[in-house]
């Protein structure tokens, strides 16, 4: 086992070369002893373009280090490569131009916790999971006045098992825009090959997140966006959901595959915060997929009476044309806005076999058609209007 501790490293390498300040390579076959890397300070290092600050290819404990970049084009702070079953904890990452932490395919089972990731620039990422499985991203803080990149992206890499069982829990996101690759999201589970199944997004806090970039005019953003099958989105807290106000959409949570959305809270105050033209707290848009899809015990509060709410449309829970959704025990408080276009508590284009039980809304809900041919719709024990 090797220890690399309490070093200060900074400086450029040869032009066009991949120069890593620390490179831990695979050594032999079989069990690989863990390396301890802690207490190091790494500044702008490597070649002037396309470099990793630290490259790990075997199991390591990477703790209490400080990595500050920002000059190198396409710089990755910590690259976790094949066989790198690593523990990454208590580090500070700042200003990396491609990603603070990159988890490559095959680097399965990495634990990323209690790190500070700040000031990530546009089109860069906080944590990029590229088809690795069983990654745990826990209790990290993503923040900074310059944080306009995307904090967390999980890809399946076109592999049916890629990205599976990723856990994103207990993280804090403060004043992050989520602009990376033009998709504008804070946490995204992205699928191209049927993978990224059984992921968990749980107990995260989002405060003043989302973009007000005019590029969003006519398009949409989502703080949590999940495409993977059986994603569980539970007990997250979203405050000050933002937007532009030029024909754009802002979603707090957007689920586009089977899964569950339970116990989340979404809040926006139109008296104090910029908003999109259409604000949707929870959006479930999976088409006629036979679930089960569960949307239960969520709390949504849109409020404010100032002119900032003029011309806005707000929807608490939008099921679109989704089918076989159990929508139970949700509460939508949507106070009237001055000059609002429309305010809906619950909205569905075609209710199908959805179930609405024990929900409460203080504004109208549109779940027509009330009961499709053949039945299957339940609307029991709801309160408010429109059920």
pLDDT digits (tens, 9 = 90+) for 311-357: 788 888 988 878 788 889 999 887 655 566 677 788 776 656 788 88
Which is more confident, 369 or 131? 131
| HSE toward the beta carbon, residue 296, CA cutoff 13 A | 15
* Rounded Cα distance, 134 and 111, in Å: 9
Residue 153 sits at φ, ψ, to 5 deg, of: -130, 130
Which pLDDT tens digit goes with each residue over 57-87?
Answer: 888 999 999 999 766 678 899 999 987 789 9
Quick one: pLDDT at residue 19?
A: 66
Query: Where are any strands of DSSP class E within 216-374?
Result: 220-226, 231-234, 237-239, 249-255, 259-262, 265-269, 278-284, 293-296, 299-303, 313-320, 325-328, 331-334, 342-348, 355-357, 360-361
- Spatial contact of 45 and 71, defined as CB atoms under 8 Å apart: no
Angle at CA of residue 218, ends 154 and 250, nearest 5°: 50
**Is it the case that residue 367 has pLDDT exceeding 90?**
no
Compare 177 and 181 and report the one with higher pLDDT.
177
Phi, psi for residue 166 in degrees, rounded to 5:
-75, 135
CA-nearest of 140, 98, 104, 106 to 123 is 98
Question: Global pTM?
Answer: 0.92
What is the predicted pLDDT for the residue at 269? 82
Domains and CATH numbers, the chain: 15-209 (2.160.20), 236-244+253-387 (no CATH)
Confidence of residue 183 (pLDDT cuts 50, 70, 90): confident
User: Cβ neighbours of residue 31 under 8 Å, at least 6 residues apart?
Assistant: none
pLDDT at 375: 37
pLDDT, tens only, 139-172: 999 998 778 889 999 999 888 899 999 999 999 9
CA distance 256 to 277: 21
Q: In the predicted model, is pLDDT for residue 14 greater than 70?
A: no
Residue 60's nearest CA partner among 90, 94, 25 is 25
- Whether 86 and 61 have beta carbons less than 8 Å apart is answered as yes
Q: Summarize the confidence of residues 11-31 as an average pLDDT.
A: 65
Asked if 220 contacts 252 with a C-beta cutoff of 8 angstroms, the reply is: no
Cβ-based burial of 133 (10 A; exposed 0-12, middle 13-18, buried ≥19): buried
């Amino acid at each position: 086992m090797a220890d690399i501790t309490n070093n200060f490293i900074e400086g450029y390498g040869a032009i066009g070369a991949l120069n890593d300040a620390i490179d831990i390579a695979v050594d032999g076959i079989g069990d690989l002893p863990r390396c301890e890397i802690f207490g190091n300070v790494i500044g702008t290092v490597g070649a002037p373009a396309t470099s990793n600050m630290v490259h790990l290819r075997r199991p390591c404990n990477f703790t209490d280090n400080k990595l500050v970049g920002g000059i190198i084009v396409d710089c990755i702070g910590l690259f976790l490569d094949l066989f790198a079953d690593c523990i990454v904890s208590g580090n500070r990452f700042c200003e990396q131009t491609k990603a603070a932490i990159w988890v490559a395919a095959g680097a399965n089972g990495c634990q990323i916790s209690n790190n500070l990731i700040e000031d990530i620039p546009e089109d860069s990422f906080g944590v990029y999971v590229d088809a690795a499985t069983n990654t745990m991203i826990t209790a990290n803080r993503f923040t900074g006045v310059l944080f306009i990149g995307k904090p967390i992206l999980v890809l399946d890499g076109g592999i049916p098992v890629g990205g599976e069982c990723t856990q994103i829990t207990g993280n804090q996101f403060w004043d992050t825009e989520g602009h990376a690759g033009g998709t504008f999201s804070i946490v995204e589970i992205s699928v191209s090959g049927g993978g990224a199944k059984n992921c968990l997004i749980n107990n995260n806090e989002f405060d003043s997140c989302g973009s007000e970039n005019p590029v969003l005019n006519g398009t949409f953003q989502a703080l949590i966006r999940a495409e993977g099958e059986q994603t569980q989105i539970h007990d997250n807290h979203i405050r000050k959901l933002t937007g532009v106000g030029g024909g754009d959409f802002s979603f707090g949570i957007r689920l586009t595959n089977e899964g569950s959305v339970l116990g989340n809270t979404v809040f926006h105050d139109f008296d104090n915060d910029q908003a999109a033209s259409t604000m949707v707290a929870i959006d479930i848009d999976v088409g006629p997929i036979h679930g089960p899809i569960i949307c239960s015990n969520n709390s949504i509060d849109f409020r404010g009476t100032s002119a900032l709410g003029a011309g806005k449309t707000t929807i608490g829970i939008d099921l679109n044309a989704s089918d076989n959704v159990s929508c139970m025990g949700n509460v939508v408080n949507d106070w009237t806005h001055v000059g609002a276009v429309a305010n809906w508590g619950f909205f569905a284009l075609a209710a199908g076999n959805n179930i609405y039980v024990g929900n409460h809304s203080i504004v109208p809900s549109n779940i027509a058609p009330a009961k499709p041919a053949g039945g299957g719709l339940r609307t029991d024990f709801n309160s408010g209007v429109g059920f």
